[in-house]
Amino acid sequence: MKAHNTPLKLMLSLALLFSFLSWSNAAFSALQGEFEMMEGEPSLHESGKVILLEFADFYCPHCHMFERVVVTKLQNEFGEKFESRMIGFPVMPGKLPTAFEMYNQAVAMGKGQKMKETLFQSIHEKDIQIFDKTMRTLVLKEVGLDRTEFEAGLASGKPFQTLGKGKAWGERIKVTHTPTVVLDGNIRIKNLNFDNLKMVIQSILDEDKKS
């Protein structure tokens, strides 16, 4: 029975795959704005929502400005239809990875966005460069995280592993500077001004309505 069903299942799977690829190509061809489709990278798209993945360095002033101005405006513009995720990609020399590990642990505890904002403010507006345990305690209080649980998470090594995976992904797709932005995992944006990003994101959401 299984031998007879296997070819049929394979044919159905291939039909669904080709159907999806045809829909994807049609949808991508209808997108507006300045962008580049990344061949070989899987889509992370969720219908009715666009995910902005930002390869960024907490110590990079351009990343701070992009986060504070552009990402904030996009969030206000699209609300729940938009999500921003940071991929730690250190490029500034002589800096410890602690800030990136703190962010990754905060993401695991459901406070990634607040931690990201606090770390950028601490580094660029308060000139805090090193996050030892004393400084982390102050940051955790501001973010609203349990210190014992947070420190245990850092000590597990998982936040550092997450940083390594993000760096490996960035190197594979040839990220050379920060910020670098990828929408939904496979749409690379080279023009990072608000108007262009708004246009691309809106066109993705418009295509969702048609499907």
Judge residue 210's burial from the number of C-beta atoms within 10 Å of its C-beta, 0-12 exposed, 13-18 middle, 19 or more buried.
Answer: exposed
Tell me the pLDDT band of 19, cut-offs 50, 70 and 90. very low
Residue 182 pLDDT > 70: yes
Quote the distance between the C-alpha of residue 139 and its chain's center.
22
- Count CA within 13 A, CB hemisphere, residue 138: 10
Task: Convert the pLDDT of each residue in 133-181 to its tens digit.
Answer: 999 999 999 999 999 999 999 999 999 999 999 999 999 999 999 999 9
Residue 47 pLDDT > 90: yes
Q: Hey, what long-range contacts does 186-190 have (CB within 8 A, 24 or more apart)?
A: 186/37, 186/38, 186/41, 186/42, 186/43, 186/44, 187/28, 187/31, 187/35, 187/36, 187/37, 187/38, 188/35, 188/36, 188/37, 188/38, 189/33, 189/34, 189/35, 189/36, 190/34, 190/35, 190/36
CA distance linking residue 131 with residue 37, whole number of Å? 38
Strand 82-88 with 180-183, pairing: unpaired
- pLDDT value at position 28? 60
- pLDDT value at position 89? 98
Task: Convert the pLDDT of each residue in 65-112 to its tens digit.
Answer: 999 999 999 999 999 999 999 999 999 999 999 999 999 999 999 999
- What predicted TM-score, i.e. pTM, was given to this entire model? 0.84
- pLDDT value at position 76? 97
CA distance linking residue 60 with residue 33, whole number of Å? 26
- The percent of residues in the chain predicted with pLDDT above 70, rounded, is 86
Strand 82-88 with 36-37, pairing: unpaired
- pLDDT value at position 29? 66
- pLDDT value at position 152? 98
